[in-house]
Every structure is written in C-alpha cells, then in structure tokens.
Amino acid sequence: MLKTLNFKNIISILILITFSLTINSCGIYRKTDSRTIPTNADERIAKNVKEGKGFKIGNLGNRGSGDFQFASSNPLWRASLEKLNFAPLNNVDYAGGIIVTDWFSNETSNEEIKITIRFLTNEIRSDAINIIIHKKVCSSQNNCKTTMINNNLNNEIKFEILKKAAQIKNNDVAAIKEKTGDYKLPGKNF
C-alpha cells in the first residue's frame, strides 16, 4: 500500500510540473500596459489582426475558399491602371499578374497598338514589370499585319509606371504615418 501511495504522489508531482511548465510557456505573465489595450472588443480584434496576432491550428476549419486578393493595396498595380486610363482594357487579371489593353489608335491612322503589362513581382523595382507592345497595320478590312515593337516606348511606359507607383507608395506610407503616428517599439527609446 505504501508503494501505491508513493506512485500516486510521484504522478501528481509530474502532472503539477508539466502543468506549470505549460502555463509558463504560454506567456501568461507577459507585462502589458492597460493604456495601450482598447476596451472595446471590436477595436481589440482589429488591433490584433493588424499586429498579426491570432490563433490557428494548421488548416483546421479551412474549407479551401476565402483566398481573396485585393489589387487596391498594390501600388504597382494601381499605378499601371492609372497610367493606362487612356486605353480600353481587354483583360485585367490581378491573380494572373497581367493587364492587356484592347487595340486602340488615334482616329486618323490605320495603325493600332495593344499594350500588355506582365507583373513579375509586387516590389517596385526596374525588373518588376514587363511591357510588351504590339502594332497592327491594316491596309484593308481583312488584310492586317501584327508585329511586336521593342523600342524606347516600352521603357518610357515602364519608367512612368514605376515613378507613379513610388509616388503612390510614399503617399500611402505618409497617410498611415499621419493616422497612426510614429511607431515606437515597446521598451526601446531611440
């Protein structure tokens, strides 16, 4: 009977040690400033989402839908659409990373051009986009010749899009900074 009592005590002690280590690793004893935590639950949720905090166990509860992509947060995409606002758009696919204009020309010419922008990355840099321009010359209704143009116009369009994207990004950063103020790390004074 004495051996059983010792075994139960040992098991109880091991469970107590395991439980205390588990609680300690959860970070329950983290110091927080109650002035920085919103009292409204919706504001707390928005703050936690913004800071990337949350709880997720793998893909548990994920049914495979809900993967949304928003072009409004990509300055390169927004700049491209803004710079191509003079041309009718034929295909705009953010997930595929491509914008294709329809054939367009000025009224007096028998030449039409089509501009294709391929997005290679979301970063604003010189190799982020690829501009392809096609020219179509029609001598009669059904007699047209299409060629790809590779001249200075491609680089001019790319430069203008990159310049506008940098301006949009700077404006977005300034707006966020104005709204939230200077971000300071807790415990750091520099």
Tokens of 153: 């116009």
Question: What is the rounded distance in angstroms from the CA atom of residue 101 to the CA atom of residue 19?
Answer: 63
Question: What is the rounded distance in angstroms from the CA atom of residue 105 to the CA atom of residue 117?
Answer: 18
What DSSP string describes 133-169? Answer: EEEEEESSSS-EEEEEE-SHHHHHHHHHHHHHHHHHH
pTM for the model stands at 0.57
pLDDT band, residue 155 (cuts 50/70/90): very high
What rounded mean pLDDT belongs to the chain? 79
What is the structure's pLDDT at 121? 87
Residue 169 vs residues 33, 121, 123, 174, 178: alpha-carbon distances, Å = 32, 15, 11, 9, 14
Please check the confidence at residue 154 and state whether its pLDDT lies above 50: yes
Tell me the HSE value of 154 on the side-chain side, using a 13 A CA sphere: 16
**Residues 79, 62 contacting (CB under 8 angstroms):** no
3-class DSSP assignment, residue 38: coil
For tokens 């415990």, the residue is 187
Question: What is the rounded distance in angstroms from the CA atom of residue 128 to the CA atom of residue 6?
Answer: 69
Per residue in 92-143, pLDDT (tens digit) is 888 888 999 999 988 777 889 999 999 998 888 889 999 999 999 988 777 8
The amino acid at 113: I
